[in-house]
Structure 1
Amino acid sequence: MSEKHYDINYLQNSRRLLLNLKERSYTLLKDVTAGTIIDLGCGAGKDVIELAKQNGNNVKVIGIDHDPVMVAQGKTDAKDIDNVSFIQSEAAPLPFEDESIAGLRTERVIQHLKAPQQVVAEVHRILKPGSPFVIIETDWHSLSFFTEFIETEKKINAYLTDIKVNNGFAARKLTSYLAAQSFNNIKAEIHPIVVNTLQEANDYFWIEKIVKEVVEKGFITPTEYTDFYTALQTADEKGYFAASINMIVAWATK
């Protein structure tokens, strides 16, 4: 994985923004009435808990994350829920038998992988025939700020897409990944996420942190940083701040 640009607080903040998108992903797994569902890259486990509530006690939901802090938080929050468990593991290999899993969800994970095809192949291996695979991803190249400093914005996007995130174009490749592993019934939706204050952009996108990192690493000049961020502050103060990014939901069956 790349150096993280998220923590538990970030995940909690972004959860509020992405709640409708998350609920959409849950519905794509609602027909699983028995067996095991995996939430791969589960973070602190909130989605694991919601899936367990949705799908009922006949379905076991397992959260998997490589971060022991996230796994520990999930175990704490779900300690009284019988059909939930957590495993610390990388995304591949996965500790499950061939064709043993009834459904799998993963959110904002593929973007961090240096070998995404390997993980998609591993998911295909463990899923039962006909089982759903649901993916949510961020299209980092779509991040947009409505200022006049377009060239600076392009450099920030390029840093995020090509440097900061291992696989910054993952969202645009999801259907290709699925097709390459012979998944069936492949579908995709675009969900624009819009914020209208600089505080929201900092909470949900970590924009101030990212832009400072971009200038510190020499991808934009200090002058470009000052002009760009001042424009964001001015737009915020005058009430016309706007920023957006596209999220992709893709799903298929084995």
Structure 2
Amino acid sequence: MSSTLGVPRPDQADYMLRAASAGREYKQQLLDLLGVRPGQTVLDVGCGPGTDLPALAEQVGGSGVVIGVDRDPAMLARARERVNGLLRVELREGDVHALPIESGTVDRAKIDRVLMHVAEPAEVLAELHRVTRQGARIGLAEPDWDTLSVDAEDLETSRAFTRYTSAEVVRHATIGRSLGRLAEQAGFGVESVLATTPVFRNFRDADHTLGLGRNMQRAIEEGRIDRDRGSRWFADLSQGPFYASFTLVSVICSR
């Protein structure tokens, strides 16, 4: 195929900011359930461009500290811009499989849409167990891409697109449904498991966030979906009323 269907692969930081905007409801719910208090030490694992750091900094007040960890220097640079002037925020470069945090020092922690990308989710959760103190509360949130639903007259191609996304695009595509089990296996006590459904009614926003065009192109090039059928599916989506959704699972657990 000579050109990319839909929008090209976006800048990673911009992608994360757009995705955060689309999931504003679940993110607020996750932060509320964490119950951050003044004076606590709060860890944002895989903080990316720092979307949640200012809100966390406000909650810990002048006597607490917020630590953001990410392995990508470009992400941390964006985060530094976002938290400029917030003295109680620390940014640390590091691998989430080996967190640059002392053992037993964290009161609250969150991992938001990070475990689906890492090499070993269980190892990351074990690290989280190491750095949190007794009585800590942890918030986890991950999508289940098997539940991706895209309305189209060609329903079979929509289903093929979802299968391809789960099998080839996302490393741990169904981790959302496994969060509770993985948290318990890591030694945490699960307090609640919640599911929300982000809904996209705008085609351009969905194309940007869900990768409709760029992932369809990959599926076509790899022979997973017929070229004409895939191209027609994408073109039809862009013309009429649009709907897409997926399930996002949030787990609140304790140390």
TM-score > 0.5 by shorter chain: yes
Which whole-Å CA distance do the structure 2 matches of 1:131 and 1:173 have between them?
21
The answer on whether the counterparts of 1:28 and 1:132 sit within 8 Å (CA) in structure 2 is no
Residue aligning to 2:117: 112
In structure 1, the partner of 2:4 is none
Shift of 1:5: 7.5
List alignment gaps of at least 5 residues for structure 1: none
1:100 CA drift (Å): 1.1
Deviations 1:170-224 (A, max 9, x none): 1011001011122114311111011112112113322222212221222211022
User: What is the aligned partner in structure 1 of residue 215 from structure 2?
Assistant: 210
3-state DSSP of counterpart to 1:244? strand
Whole-Å Cα distance in 2 between the matches of residues 220 and 117 of structure 1?
A: 33
Segment of structure 1 superposing worse, 201-210 or 84-93: 201-210
Amino acid at match of 1:7: Q
CA deviation after TM superposition for structure 1 residue 24, in Å? 1.1
2:246 maps to 245
Question: Which of these residues, 227, 232, 235, is aligned with residue 230 of structure 1?
Answer: 235
1:94 to 2:110 alignment:
no
The CA distance in 2 between the partners of 1:190 and 1:35, in whole Å, is 27
- Whether the 8 Å contact between 1:32 and 1:103 is mirrored in structure 2 is no
Deviation of 1:154 after TM superposition, in Å, equals 2.4
Task: State the TM-score, normalized to the length of structure 1.
Answer: 0.91
- Work out the CA distance in 2 between the residues paired with 1:97 and 1:87: 13
Q: Distance in 2 between matches of 1:225 and 1:195?
A: 20
Which position in structure 1 is the counterpart of 2:3?
A: none
Answer whether contact 2:212 2:234 (CA < 8 A) is retained: no
Give the one of 43, 47, 50 matched to 1:45.
50
1:167 maps to what in 2? 172
4+ runs of 1 displaced by more than 4 Å? none
Q: Is the 8 A contact 1:52 1:61 kept in 2?
A: yes
Q: Which runs of 5+ in 2 are unaligned?
A: 1-8
Contact 2:44 2:110 in 1 (8 A): yes
The Cα of 1:26 is off from its aligned counterpart by 1.1
What TM-score does the superposition give when structure 2 sets the normalisation length?
A: 0.91
Closer, same or farther: CA 100–246 of 1 in aligned 2, 3 Å: same
1:147 aligns with one of 143, 152, 159: 152
Percentage of identical aligned residues: 24
Q: Distance in 2 between matches of 1:9 and 1:97?
A: 31
Map residues 28-39 of structure 1 onto 2, 5 A cutoff: 28-39=33-44
Q: 1:178 touches 1:186 (CA, 8 Å); kept in 2?
A: no
Q: Distance in 1 between matches of 2:195 and 2:168?
A: 24
